[in-house]
Amino acid sequence: MLADHNTCAWTTRYSDSTCMLFVMYTVRGEVSVAPTYYVAAVGQTITIDCRTTAEDTVLWLKKNTTESRYQLITNSGDGEVLEQLRQKYTTEKLSGFLYRLTIVNIQESDEGYVMCKQSNSDHDTASVKLTVTGMAAH
């Protein structure tokens, strides 16, 4: 929670008055991703960029079409890719508050959603819908 104040003054015919305006506000980050919809072919490598407005660790999560919950791609503490996923995903901080996730060798099982999330908030998130083409016939 941050605070700011401004001083205002006015004059009437009868007296001079001064007031102090005190405003309390909370700074919340915003998260955006690009692109928001991705169509990728099996075997392709893709990159997803995430921009935030607050200094924080960015978490990446995924949810395949068969899953009901998002699964972590990165550690919640340091934002590093989980060890068992390092052959599939890489992350990097580009500049300022811009982060990138690279997914290699896209497969049918990757279809679903990828989410970028500020680690200090459950509300500051943005998701990418990933559709995979060239799927094997069933």
pLDDT (tens digit per residue) in 38-48: 999 999 999 99
Structure tokens at 97: 């508050």
Rounded to a whole number of angstroms, the distance between the first and last alpha carbons of the chain is: 54
Tell me whether residue 7 is in a domain.
no
Q: What is the mean pLDDT of residues 4-13?
A: 49
pLDDT (0 to 100) of residue 31: 86
pLDDT (0 to 100) of residue 11: 56
Domain count of the chain?
Answer: 1
pLDDT (0 to 100) of residue 135: 57
Q: Supply the CATH number for residue 72's domain.
A: 2.60.40.10
Tell me whether residue 40 is in a domain.
yes
Tell me whether residue 80 is in a domain.
yes
Domain extent for 111: 31-133
Across 11-15, 93-97, 102-106, the highest mean pLDDT is recorded for: 102-106
Name which residue leads in pLDDT, 22 or 55: 55
Over 60-113, what HEC string results? EEEEECCCCCCEECECCCCCCECHHHCCCEEEEEEECCEEEEEECCCCHHHCEE
Give the pLDDT band (50/70/90) at residue 129.
very high
Q: What is the mean pLDDT of residues 43-71?
A: 89
Whole-model pTM?
A: 0.73
